[in-house]
Amino acid sequence: MSATVTTEALKNARIAVLGYGSQGRSHVLNLRDSGLDVVVGLRPGGPTSLKAEADGVTVLSPEEAVKGADLVAVLTPDMVQPKLYSEVIAPNMKAGAALLFAHGFNIHFKTIEPRKDIDVILVAPKGPGHLVRTEFEIGRGVPCLYAVYQDTSGKAKDLAKAYAAGLGGARALLIETDFKEETETDLFGEQAVLCGGASELVMKGFETLVEAGYRPEIAYYEVLHELKLIVDLLYQGGITKMLAYVSETAQYGDYVSGPRIIDAATKERMKAVLTEIQDGTFARNWTAEYKAGLPNYTRWKKADMEHPIEKVGAELRKKMVWLNEPA
C-alpha cells in the first residue's frame, strides 16, 4: 500500500533540484517540509534564484548543487535538459547517485544517454505544481507515477518511492510505470485530447457558429466558457457525474451528435498521432524545431493567440471579475 511508503530511503541524502518553476518550487518546499535535506541549483541573481532565497531555500550554482548531491532532480523544460545534462550533470555528478526526472522524454527518446554508474528514476505527480503544494500543506497529497530506468545501486525503486512520499504522493496513490509508458501516454494526452484536441474542438465550434451568423460573444460562452462546467464534472466524477448533472436534452444531444463529431475516423487519426509518438517522429521533429529556433512553433502560437475567439474572450473576461479573485 502506498500509504505505508516513507521517506526513509532518503533520510541521510542530499537532494539537489534543478529548476524552480511551478513543479520545481513545489518539489523543493514539500521535500524540505518532509524533513529532507534539499538544495536548489540555479544561476545566481536570476528571478527564480531570488524567489527561492525568499522562500528560505539554500541556493547553489547548478554545478555545486550537483557535486554535493546524492539525488539530482531535473525539473527544467524538456528541450533544455540535454545540454544541462552534458554540461552540468554528467561532469559533476558523483558515482552511485540517483538522477530523477518528472517526465521521461529525454531518457526514453535517448537525447540523454545517462552514465552507467548512476541510478535513473522518474517521479511524476499527476497535478500542477500549485496543487502538489496546496494538497501537501493541508495534509493530503497528489497521486504520483514512479519508474526505474537504471538501477545501479539496487535501491533505485526505494529512492523513487521515498521521493514521491516526500512530495506527499504516498498519502494518495503511487502507481508504478516505466519511462516508455509515462512518456508516450503523456504526449498523446496532450496532443490528442487535453491541449491539441480540446483547443481545436473549441475553435472549430466557435468558427462554425460565427460563420452561421451567430454573435461571437454568444459563441464564446457556448463553446469555451461553459466547457469548464463540463470539465469540472468529468474531473470530479467521470462521465457518470457529468451525465447526472446535465439536462436530459443535453444527454440526448451527447448520444446522437457526439459520435458524429468524434467518430471512427477521428480515432484513426489519434492512432496515427500515437504511432508518431511511439516511433520517435514527434520527438525528432520537436527537437529539430527547437534547434532551428522555433520558427513553426512561433508562427502557430501567434495564429492561435490572434484567433477571433481570443479577441472576443479578452473583452468578455474583463467583465468576469471572479476570474481574478483569489481562490
Reported as a single tens digit per residue, the pLDDT across 236-256 is 999 999 999 999 999 999 999
Model pTM above 0.85: yes
Q: Is 140 annotated as a binding residue?
A: no
Q: Is 64 annotated as a binding residue?
A: no
Closest C-alpha among 26, 67, 19, 66 to residue 43: 19
Alpha helix segments (H runs only) across 75-128: 81-84, 90-92, 105-108
pLDDT digits over 88-146, tens only? 999 999 999 999 999 999 999 999 999 999 999 999 999 999 999 999 999 999 999 99
- Catalytic residue ranges: 103
Q: Collect all residues with Cβ–Cβ distance below 8 Å to 246 and sequence separation of at least 6.
A: 230, 233, 254
Q: And the C-alpha cell for 288?
A: 529539430
Long-range contact list for 173-176, CB < 8 A, 24+ apart?
A: 173/2, 173/143, 173/144, 174/2, 174/5, 174/143, 174/144, 174/145, 174/146, 175/143, 175/144, 175/145, 175/146, 176/145, 176/146, 176/147
Q: Is 284 annotated as a binding residue?
A: no
Q: And the C-alpha cell for 50?
A: 531570488
Give the C-alpha separation, 204 to 188, whole Å.
21
Q: Is 276 annotated as a binding residue?
A: no
Q: Is 2 annotated as a binding residue?
A: no
Q: Is 135 annotated as a binding residue?
A: no
Q: And the C-alpha cell for 307?
A: 484567433
Angle at 277 between CA 272 and CA 283, to 5 degrees: 135
Task: Report residues of the chain scoring pLDDT below 50.
Answer: 1-3
Task: Name all domains of the chain by residue range, CATH numbers in brackets.
Answer: 8-177 (3.40.50.720), 195-262+294-323 (no CATH)
Q: Would you state the pLDDT for residue 327?
A: 52
Q: Cβ(138)–Cβ(181) under 8 Å? A: no
Q: Is 22 annotated as a binding residue?
A: yes
Angle at 229 between CA 226 and CA 233, to 5 degrees: 150
Q: Would you state the pLDDT for residue 1?
A: 40
